Amino acid sequence: MQLALVALAVMRFGLRLELAPEYDSNVDRVEQGPASTAGAPASGTGASSQQAPAPVGSFLLQSTARSTLTLAAGANALRLGLDVGGKWFFESDARQQDEVVLRAALDARHRFDRGVTLALAGEYWDAFQWNDCPPLTPTDPTGVPETWCHRDFRQAGARLVASWARGVPAIAAEVGARGYQWKPDADLSFLGVGAAVTPSARFRQRDRDGEDDTEWTLSSTGRIEQRFYEGPALRSIDDLGDARLPSRRDLVATWSASVSYVGRALWSLGYLVECDRSSSAGESFLYEALTMSLTMPLGRRFTAAGRAQLLFFSSGAGQALYGEDENRDALTIDLAREMGAGFTLAARYSVFANAAGSTREYLRQLVSLGVTWSR
C-alpha cells in the first residue's frame, strides 16, 4: 500500500486534445513559373513547374491527441509521450493529402552530483497517406500511381545526451543515430549518424519580493551529421542513375545561435546557417535562416503570438525532411483565449512564400479556428 502511494506521488499524466477546422489555399504546395535555378528553394512536390497542376484550395478538419506520462523518483526521471493526429480534406481534389500521424517519444535521465545529467532519448515518428496523387498528365499511359504530392515519412532514432549545468555557462553534448524513410521516393531515405554541442547561459533578475521577474537565455549549437542514402550519387543533374553508381553520401553541418527573454512578454531571436556537402550532383546546398517570435498577454485572458522566418539561399535547396516543413519565408499569427475548465479557443493565420531570389512563384495560406482541452 505504501509503495502504491509513493508511485502515485511521483507520477503525472497530461492530456491535450485539439480540434480545428482549417482552410489551406495550396494543399499540394505547387509552384508556378519557370524552372527553379540554383539558390531557389525546392517545391517539395518533385514536379516541374511545367507539369504541376494549378494550386487547389480546400477546407479540412484537423485533430490531435497528445498524452504524456512522467515518473520521477529522486535523481531519476522518465517521460513518455504519445501523439496521434490527422487531417481530412473536404474537396475531392485535395483528398490525396488526407493524413494520419503517430509519434512516440521516450526520455530517461539520471541526475548526478555537481549538476551533471545523463539522458537517453528515443523517438518514433510515422506519417501515413493512402490516397493516390492525381496524374501529372490526364492521359498518362503508364497507369502507375503518382507520388509527387505526398509528404509521408517514417523516422526512428535515439540520442545520448550529457549536460552540465552549475552556474554560467552550462553545456550539453550529444551523439545519436536515426533511420529516415521518405516514402514517396526511397532514394531520399537515409541512415544518419551525428553529434552536437550546445553551450548556454541563463541570467535571472529577481524583484524585491524574491520572485523571478525576468530571465535571459543565450545559447549556441553546433551540429554535424553524416547521412548514408539509399539512392545513388548522380554524376550530373540530368543523370537518371543506375545500380552501378555508388550510394549517395551527405555531410551536413549546422550552426545556430539564439537569445530569448521571459518576462511579461516572451520573445526570441535566432540565426541558423546550414551547409550540406553531397556526393550527388545538384544536391549540395547552403542557406541561412533568421527566426523571430513574440508571445504576450493582452488582458481578459487573451494571448497573442507571432513567429516569422526568413531564409537566404546561397546555393541549392534544402530538403524538407518532415511533412509540415516549409523551406520558405513564413509568418504565423496566433490569438488565443482561455475559456476555463481546461478549454482554450485559438485562431491562427499563416502565409508561406518563396525566399528572395527564387524564379518561381509560391503562395500558401492557412486559416484555422480551433478549440483545445488540456489537463
Please report, for residues 73, 110, 143, 320, the alpha-carbon distance to residue 162 in angstroms, rounded to integers and kept in the order given: 19, 10, 52, 29
Q: What is the mean pLDDT of residues 110-125?
A: 94
| CA atoms of 27 and 149, how far apart (whole Å) | 9
Query: 239-288 pLDDT, tens per residue?
Result: 777 778 899 999 999 999 999 999 989 999 999 999 999 999 999 999 99
User: What was the pLDDT predicted at 245?
Assistant: 87
Burial label for 30, CB within 10 Å (0-12, 13-18, 19+), is: buried
pTM (2 decimals)? Answer: 0.87
Measure the N-to-C terminal CA separation of the chain; round to a whole number of Å: 27
C-alpha dihedral sign at 351, 355, 357, 362: negative
Query: 133-183 pLDDT, tens per residue?
Result: 887 766 665 666 778 899 999 999 999 999 998 777 899 999 999 999 999
Please report, for residues 66, 103, 125, 131, 178, the alpha-carbon distance to residue 82 in angstroms, rounded to integers and kept in the order given: 6, 6, 10, 25, 19
Grid cell in block for residue 277: 556537402
- Whether 95 has a pLDDT exceeding 70, the answer reads yes
Whether 366 contacts 22, CB under 8 Å: yes
| CA atoms of 137 and 238, how far apart (whole Å) | 21
Query: Between residues 54 and 229, which one has the greater pLDDT?
Result: 229
Indicate the pLDDT class of residue 362, thresholds 50, 70 and 90. very high
Residue 242 CA from chain centroid, whole number: 32
Grid cell in block for residue 365: 495560406
User: What was the pLDDT predicted at 182?
Assistant: 95
Query: Between residues 1 and 290, which one has the greater pLDDT?
Result: 290
Query: Between residues 36 and 104, which one has the greater pLDDT?
Result: 104
Residue 18 CA from chain centroid, whole number: 18
Residue 314 CA from chain centroid, whole number: 22
In eight-state DSSP terms, residue 75 is T
Closest CA to 355 of 338, 330, 323: 330
User: What was the pLDDT predicted at 41?
Assistant: 37
User: Which of the residue ranges 33-37, 69-73, 341-345 would you say has the lowest mean pLDDT?
Assistant: 33-37
Whether 97 contacts 130, CB under 8 Å: no
Question: CATH second-level architecture of 2-44+55-133+162-374?
Answer: Beta Barrel (2.40)
User: What was the pLDDT predicted at 141?
Assistant: 59
User: What was the pLDDT predicted at 270?
Assistant: 98
Q: What is the mean pLDDT of residues 213-223?
A: 94
User: What was the pLDDT predicted at 208?
Assistant: 62
Give all strands (DSSP E) within the chain, no chain letters. Answer: 11-24, 58-73, 76-89, 99-111, 116-128, 153-164, 170-182, 190-206, 212-232, 247-262, 266-278, 285-299, 302-315, 329-340, 343-353, 363-374
As a whole number of Å, the CA-based R_g of the chain is 23
User: What was the pLDDT predicted at 209?
Assistant: 62
User: Which of the residue ranges 77-81, 138-142, 177-181, 220-224 would you say has the lowest mean pLDDT?
Assistant: 138-142
- Whether 104 has a pLDDT exceeding 90, the answer reads yes
User: Which of the residue ranges 8-12, 28-32, 236-240, 243-247 would you say has the lowest mean pLDDT?
Assistant: 8-12
In eight-state DSSP terms, residue 8 is H
| CA atoms of 89 and 246, how far apart (whole Å) | 41
Indicate the pLDDT class of residue 52, thresholds 50, 70 and 90. low
- Whether 341 has a pLDDT exceeding 50, the answer reads yes
